[in-house]
A = this chain, B = another copy of it.
Amino acid sequence: MVVIGGDAAGMSAASQARRLKDPGELEIVAFERSHFASYSACGIPYWVGGDVEHREQLIARTPREHRSRGIDLRMRTEAVEIDVPGQRVRSRDLESGAESWTGYDKLVIATGARPVRPALPGIDAAGVHGVQTLDDGQALLDTLAGLEGRRAVVVGAGYIGVEMAEALLKRGFEVTVVNRGEQPMATLDPAMGRLVHEAMEGMGITTVNGAEVTAILTDPEAGAPGASGGPGARVRAVVTEDGEFPADVVVLGIGVEPETGLARAAGLPVGTHGGLLTDLSMRVRGYGDIWAGGDCVEVLDLVSGRERHLPLGTHANKHGQIIGAGVGGGYATFPGAVGTAVSKVCDLEIARTGLLEKQARAVGLRFVSVTVESTSRAGYYPGAAPMTVKMLAERRTGRLLGVQIVGREGAGKRVDIAAVALTAGMTVERMTALDLGYAPPFSPVWDPVLVAARKATAAVAQAG
């Protein structure tokens, strides 16, 4: 068994396979090009923000621990070619430059995703950081430690963007988020994104929407707008069509795309979002001895019936388990996802599952949409905080299509109710009778999700 990529999906697969087969039965080799394996990339913003003190806390299992379990994990080793007919992988030791071929009976591709990094003037300047890997996080922290200025610009207002805005605010920076979209959080419908915008402004995060970055200005060229500094030059400002935003540090949170160059070069099938296509057992379609999982694959969206790219640690871990079971001679499948995600900016919780309005339209669904205001606990109980729930239901059938939630403490994880209901194909009318946990410290007597389901039920009846 050869594993390409030593993070969540790859090392979960290796560990699960090792549980099922001992080293006498199955040899496991894993290649990881970075300095770290098996870490929580999702935790990087909290490490940068200081909630998590030590980098090591983000590491679930060290290379040494993997090796002690009989997994030959080769760090700083990059796979550079897959020879599918020859069942072998060519890898390069990034320290020495030495290359070698390793044969496989079973191959696991877990190459993850890479941050989108637009080809802008100045993008490679010192002080411009992505935050995809622990190496990236360490580089950003090193920059922050040496900075004299306190102005940070975050490019992008998706999950990574808003989480990094919080992190930099906690580090005492004046934070400006420069966002191409109409509102922050393109994973929400605009009116819900507007609530996030307002809350971010209330926290002192300047949020600029509809702003496409055209260049990054650097110091040696001070006063020469749009000019590009070399890698040695230091960032000074972010330029958009509408203006210039001074910056001592810039964090890119524009999104990620599947890292599938190696797999494409080997002729493996990729989908419309650039991710590898697999079957339900996470085998690459058409290949019996090659599996793929994690951020480099596309996932079936159970609500729309379409493939999507959903780069999330929780999917990657599930994929790894399933691949490990398959390689180890067991049986497990990944039926797909419903598009659940949750995040926060300071005390604002943001969650969604299922389809947005535009996503529902794109697959030909007709729907009703309702929005309700409620509170996280009984109104009279201390800490009851307002929350807004938006719900989409199919016309005629009343089937739940999606839920979006913006609120404070206790809001975010309520999305799980809808995630399970979506998975089960429930109608919003059936949801109104759900027997959810109620006590004043936990919920109003009608849980906010039930309030939304009642309104959606009425809207479905009304729409006919």
The interface of chain A, by Cβ under 8 A from chain B, is 8, 40, 42-43, 46, 51-52, 57-58, 159, 312-315, 317-318, 321, 333-335, 337-344, 349, 351, 353, 378-382, 410, 412-417, 419-421, 423-424, 426, 430, 432-443, 445-447, 454
- Between A40, A416, A435, the greatest number of chain B beta carbons within 10 A of the residue's beta carbon is seen for A435
Say yes or no: A381 contacts B317, CB within 8 Å: no
User: Smallest CB–CB gap between A256 and chain B, Å?
Assistant: 16
- Given known A-B contacts A314-B445, A380-B40, A380-B43, A437 and B420 have beta carbons under 8 A apart: no
Find chain B residues with CB under 8 A from A52 CB: 380-382
- Given known A-B contacts A40-B378, A51-B382, A413 and B442 have beta carbons under 8 A apart: yes
Find chain B residues with CB under 8 A from A438 CB: 42, 312-314, 340-342
Complex: chain B residue closest to A446, CB-CB? B317
Find chain B residues with CB under 8 A from A379 CB: 57
Find chain B residues with CB under 8 A from A42 CB: 378, 438-440, 445
- Given known A-B contacts A433-B334, A440-B46, A40 and B445 have beta carbons under 8 A apart: yes
Find chain B residues with CB under 8 A from A413 CB: 410, 413-414, 437, 442-443
Say yes or no: A419 contacts B433, CB within 8 Å: no
Cα distance A459–B297 in the bound complex, in angstroms: 30
Complex: chain B residue closest to A45, CB-CB? B440
Say yes or no: B423 contacts A57, CB within 8 Å: no
User: Smallest CB–CB gap between A293 and chain B, Å?
Assistant: 13
Complex: chain B residue closest to A443, CB-CB? B413
Cα distance A8–B378 in the bound complex, in angstroms: 14
Say yes or no: B8 contacts A445, CB within 8 Å: yes
Copy tally for this chain in the complex stands at 2
Can you list 16 A-B contacts with CB-CB less than 8 angstroms, sorted by A residue number? A42-B439, A43-B381, A159-B439, A313-B445, A337-B435, A340-B436, A340-B437, A342-B439, A342-B442, A414-B416, A416-B416, A419-B434, A419-B437, A420-B424, A423-B434, A424-B424
Find chain B residues with CB under 8 A from A442 CB: 342, 344, 349, 412-413
- Given known A-B contacts A380-B58, A420-B424, A421-B420, A343 and B439 have beta carbons under 8 A apart: yes
Cα distance A432–B313 in the bound complex, in angstroms: 15
Find chain B residues with CB under 8 A from A410 CB: 413
Complex: chain B residue closest to A412, CB-CB? B442
User: Smallest CB–CB gap between A279 and chain B, Å?
Assistant: 15
Find chain B residues with CB under 8 A from A412 CB: 437, 439, 442
Say yes or no: A381 contacts B46, CB within 8 Å: yes
Find chain B residues with CB under 8 A from A447 CB: 314, 416
Complex: chain B residue closest to A426, CB-CB? B424
User: Smallest CB–CB gap between A171 and chain B, Å?
Assistant: 16
- Between A380, A424, A426, A439, the greatest number of chain B beta carbons within 10 A of the residue's beta carbon is seen for A439
Cα distance A173–B339 in the bound complex, in angstroms: 49
Complex: chain B residue closest to A299, CB-CB? B435
User: Smallest CB–CB gap between A413 and chain B, Å?
Assistant: 5
Complex: chain B residue closest to A313, CB-CB? B445
Find chain B residues with CB under 8 A from A353 CB: 435, 437
- Given known A-B contacts A52-B380, A380-B40, A415 and B440 have beta carbons under 8 A apart: no
Find chain B residues with CB under 8 A from A454 CB: 321
Complex: chain B residue closest to A410, CB-CB? B413
Say yes or no: B414 contacts A435, CB within 8 Å: no
Say yes or no: B417 contacts A435, CB within 8 Å: no
- Given known A-B contacts A43-B440, A52-B381, A434 and B446 have beta carbons under 8 A apart: no
Say yes or no: B51 contacts A381, CB within 8 Å: yes
- Given known A-B contacts A417-B416, A433-B335, A440 and B40 have beta carbons under 8 A apart: yes
New contact pairs (6) apart from A312-B438, A314-B435, A314-B445, CB-CB < 8 Å? A40-B378, A51-B381, A339-B435, A340-B437, A341-B439, A413-B413
Say yes or no: B439 contacts A344, CB within 8 Å: yes
Cα distance A247–B73 in the bound complex, in angstroms: 65
Complex: chain B residue closest to A322, CB-CB? B433
Find chain B residues with CB under 8 A from A321 CB: 454
Complex: chain B residue closest to A47, CB-CB? B380
Complex: chain B residue closest to A417, CB-CB? B416
